[in-house]
Amino acid sequence: MPKKVAMTGNVAVANAMRQINPDVCAAYPITPSTEIVQQFSNFVADGIVDTVLVTVESEHSAMSACIGACAAGGRVMNATSANGLALMWEMLYIASGNRLPIILSCVNRALSAPINIHGDHSDSMGARDSGWIQLYAENAQEAYDNTIMAPRIGEHFDVRLPVMSCMDGFIISHSIENIELLDDKQVKDFIGPYKSNVPTLLDINNPVTMGALHLQDYYIESKRQQHEAMKKAKKVVIDVGKEYGKFSGRTYGLFEEYKLKDADIALVVLNSAAGTAKVVVDELRKQGIKAGLLKPRLFRPFPYLEVANALKNCTAVCVMDRADSFGGAGGPLFTEVRSALYDLPARPLMINKIYGLGGRDLGLEDVRKVYRELVKLAESGKAAKLYEYITVRD
Amino acid sequence: MAVIKLKELSEKEDRLTGGHRMCAGCGAPIVVRQMLLAIDEPVVIANATGCLEVATTIYPYTAWKMPWIHSAFENAAATIAGVESMYRSLKQQKKLPVDKDIKFIAFGGDGGTYDIGLQSLSGALERGHNFMYVCYDNGAYMNTGIQRSSSTPFGADTTTSPAGKAIPGKQQNRKDLTKICVAHNIPYAAQASPHNWKDLMEKTRKAMSLEGAKFMNVIAPCNRGWRTQTNDAIMLSKLAVNTCFWPLYEVEYGVTTVNYAPKKNRRPIVEWLKPQGRFKHLFKPGNEWMLAKFQEYVDDQWRAVVKLHNEAHPADQIDPEEGKTW
């Protein structure tokens, strides 16, 4: 039977890992993800899981060991944050390029410099082109649920890609929430045994060469296959989300629409800030303002057709980014959403706010201000600024 | 351990096939073939980025008749550590696809081992994965076009330590990687050379019979980088040993044994340097100090390893100066 428990986001993810019982976990400590592997180490030390834990000397080696382990033919998990993810960068591309369905729990944290340990999305947004499927979570429950769905998505024979499951550092990783843990057997039955559709390194009767040199004559075909696999991931995410809902009672799709169906104005925001925004949406609805919210869950592959369809009736939309793309035409989420809306016959007016970098709090009043600006924008049809920082000293 | 017999070896199949695209006369594939011939068990290989990796696996071809993975340059040790960890996990859970004893080897050049891969190697040795790391040491980044590495000998002319008018080649002595690996207190670390195939293969077999992390450093002449002839690899690896530039020794559970001490045939270092174009400038008037410095370094290194041998083997003493007639 599922049970209600109070735990931090990190402990919830560690418990998802316990229930998944991966064959190998290779990881290196970094705030704020450390606690996941720390908790998981206890499960290993107490013999609760079958996992071989490889306590490597760096995140680069963590992902390298995950690559070797997954290529050897088994389920592999790992957790990191910020600079740890940045140190893995090279290996992220190699994991996806070799089509290895490794699961990484990314506890979002700001990248240095200046050094900072708190939550923003500069780490995972920087990895958005690395060929990993990316799932985002508003709270500990979603982080737990996404972690359990991740192997089913990445290991699907139509996909075979690594999956990054993200949640906000400290705000979610270190806050205690009430969540529902599934029964161990439910998880075991849901994820099933690890299977591979290609020979693995330990299959010595079918020797395989992995990571061969692809020159001008083959490289682009290899990348094209990766591209197609990523496209197919969208349907798998939907199917797995539905199947998960059947026994957990929590169905997941590509994104969450909160009072969006009839909304005139809407925010698009990832992760924990969506919880804050929902409170403001409720306030505004009471005042008769048709405000709504779109919270992306799947960022890679980005479901641009579905996002465009969900926002098509809005007059004005603000995309909130907890990461900057310095010198770009807006933050990383903004450029995706704005591009998604380009083909609509009538496009909503759009603005972009960069908020909460380095864990700067986003309060209710900050969100109210954004919605007030959207009301004005919808009336005037003219944005004062396309792209600006909020929650910042001027 | 069974004695290695040439007849038996001649009947074994090469695990690295001919038709790979390494340069003619390259020492690395000789080293790899000899070592793999010495092992009877199935082997899984992780290969660091470098000549050996690039030239043997140009898709859609592969020269490897065994499971093989390349992931990146600096992480062959971490990659094979992952493979070996999965092997242990699946074995414990009785989930192995083929239930056999499998051996694990990582191959890397000196750039991928002494320099960019040192951290990953150190971590894997410290954690004690059951594998062997083999560095095929040709003394520079040959794959990218002969840039100096921390294994490049003193004085060598490389494309990033050129013998110029103001600076005559590489100004530092080599890093002693074998000693660094020994300092990890692993069960086995050794230096070997392809000219002495028996010693190389016996060491490989011994290493594979021991549980835990093993390291072998094997000299692998590169005629492109050393500026020599394509039929010089074996002659130069033999001279490297007979000049004591590359002592053949092993450290088994902390006990150092020098496997070969040149007695009547110990040669001055100039005999190894002279045929190599990368040391040409050392023989120009005014650079005599470089030859003297090189010889002094070789003598010091040799005396140091002989001292360790003599301390460990009271009944088998070696005179480091024996055969030194110059």
Which pLDDT belongs to residue B2? 64
CA gap A32, A85 in Å, rounded: 12
Tokens of A269: 């925001």
Inter-chain touch B69–A52, beta carbons under 8 Å:
no
Which pLDDT belongs to residue B1? 62
Q: Residue B226: count other Cβ atoms within 10 Å of its Cβ.
A: 24
Nearest-5° angle of CA A313, CA A319, CA A322? 160
> Could you identify the residue written with the tokens 């963590």?
A62
B95: nearest CA partner in chain A: A74
Query: Which one, of B191, B38, B55, B47, lies nearest residue B107 by Cα?
Result: B47
Phi (first) and psi of residue A135, to 5 degrees: -115, 140
Cis peptide before B275 (omega within 30 of 0): no
Residues A279 and A320 in one domain: yes
Domain's final residue, options A225, A248, A271: A248
Residue A67 maps to which CATH number?
3.40.50.970
Helix, strand, coil shares, percent, chain B, to 5 = 40, 15, 45
* Contacting residues of A for B64, CB less than 8 Å apart: 207, 209
Domain's final residue, options A212, A230, A248: A248
Tokens of B35: 């070592």
pLDDT digits (tens, 9 = 90+) for A333-374: 999 999 999 999 999 999 999 999 999 999 999 999 999 999
Contacts of B274 (CB under 8 A, 6+ apart): B283
Residues A242 and A261 in one domain: no
Which pLDDT belongs to residue B280? 98
Residues A48 and A192 in one domain: yes
- Amino acid making up residue A32: P
* Contacting residues of A for B70, CB less than 8 Å apart: 210-212
B12-to-B103, B132, B208 alpha-carbon distances in Å: 18, 22, 18
CA gap A160, A163 in Å, rounded: 9
> Could you identify the residue written with the tokens 């990895």?
A127
Would you say residue A137 lies in a domain? yes
- Amino acid making up residue B310: N
Residues A279 and A149 in one domain: no
A76: nearest CA partner in chain B: B86
Which one of B86, B97, B100 has the shortest CB-CB distance to A23?
A: B86
Cis peptide before A199 (omega within 30 of 0): no
Which pLDDT belongs to residue A387? 95
In order along its 394 residues, chain A shows pLDDT tens digits of 899 999 999 999 999 999 999 999 999 999 999 999 999 999 999 999 999 999 999 999 999 999 999 999 999 999 999 999 999 999 999 999 999 999 999 999 999 999 999 999 999 999 999 999 999 999 999 999 999 999 999 999 999 999 999 999 999 999 999 999 999 999 999 999 999 999 999 999 999 999 999 999 999 999 999 999 999 999 999 999 999 999 999 999 999 999 999 999 999 999 999 999 999 999 999 999 999 999 999 999 999 999 999 999 999 999 999 999 999 999 999 999 999 999 999 999 999 999 999 999 999 999 999 999 999 999 999 998 999 999 999 8
Helices (H), B75-230: 76-92, 110, 118-127, 177-182, 197-209, 223-226
* Secondary structure of residue A167 in the 3-state scheme: strand
Give yes or no for a contact between B61 and B55, defined as CB atoms under 8 angstroms apart.
no
Give yes or no for a contact between B69 and B79, defined as CB atoms under 8 angstroms apart.
yes
Residues A199 and A325 in one domain: no
* Contacting residues of B for A62, CB less than 8 Å apart: 78
Q: Set out the domains of chain B in order of their start, with CATH numbers.
A: 17-154+174-257 (3.40.50.970)
Q: Residue B58: count other Cβ atoms within 10 Å of its Cβ.
A: 17
Inter-chain touch B42–A90, beta carbons under 8 Å:
no
Task: Give the bridge partners for B129, in sequence order.
Answer: none
In order along its 326 residues, chain B shows pLDDT tens digits of 667 888 988 999 999 999 999 999 999 999 999 999 999 999 999 999 999 999 999 999 999 999 999 999 999 999 999 999 999 999 999 999 999 999 999 999 999 999 999 999 999 999 999 999 999 999 999 999 999 999 999 999 999 999 999 999 999 999 999 999 999 999 999 999 999 999 999 999 999 999 999 999 999 999 999 999 999 999 999 999 999 999 999 999 999 999 999 988 899 999 999 999 999 999 999 999 999 999 999 999 999 999 999 999 999 999 999 888 77
ipTM over 0.90: yes
Which one of A54, A210, A218 has the shortest CB-CB distance to B68?
A: A210
Residues A207 and A313 in one domain: no
Residues A244 and A306 in one domain: no
Residue A266 maps to which CATH number?
3.40.50.920
State in Å, rounded, how far the first CA of chain A is from the last one: 52
> Could you identify the residue written with the tokens 């990316």?
A134
CA gap B293, A117 in Å, rounded: 51
Name the pairing type of β-strands A298-300 and A176-181: unpaired
Q: Which helix (H) or strand (E) holds A356?
A: none
Residues A67 and A155 in one domain: yes
Tokens of B17: 């096939």
The answer to whether B46 faces chain A, any CB pair under 8 Å, is yes
CA gap B148, A215 in Å, rounded: 26
Total tally of structural domains belonging to chain A? 2
Which one of B54, B72, B90 has the shortest CB-CB distance to A94?
A: B72
Task: Give the bridge partners for B216, in sequence order.
Answer: B134, B190
> Could you identify the residue written with the tokens 């270190």?
A174
Q: State the best of B13, B40, B70, B83 to mutate against chain A, taking most chain A CBs within 10 Å.
A: B83
Inter-chain touch A64–B75, beta carbons under 8 Å:
yes
Residues A18 and A151 in one domain: yes
Residues A244 and A261 in one domain: no
Give the start-end residues of each E strand in chain A: 3-8, 24-27, 52-55, 76-80, 103-108, 133-136, 163-168, 176-181, 209-210, 255-258, 265-268, 291-296, 298-300, 316-321, 349-354, 387-389
Domain's final residue, options A198, A231, A248: A248
Q: Residue B314: count other Cβ atoms within 10 Å of its Cβ.
A: 7
What residues make up the domain containing A14? Answer: 3-248
The answer to whether B58 faces chain A, any CB pair under 8 Å, is yes
Q: Which of residues 65-124 of B touch A (CB under 8 A)?
A: 65-72, 74-75, 77-90, 92-93, 95-98, 100, 102, 119-120, 122-124
Residues A212 and A361 in one domain: no
CA gap A332, A322 in Å, rounded: 9
Nearest-5° angle of CA A288, CA A290, CA A294? 145
Would you say residue A394 lies in a domain? no
CA gap B131, B116 in Å, rounded: 20
Inter-chain touch B86–A203, beta carbons under 8 Å:
no
Cis peptide before B60 (omega within 30 of 0): yes
Query: Which one, of B54, B15, B46, B237, lies nearest residue B141 by Cα?
Result: B54
Residues A237 and A266 in one domain: no
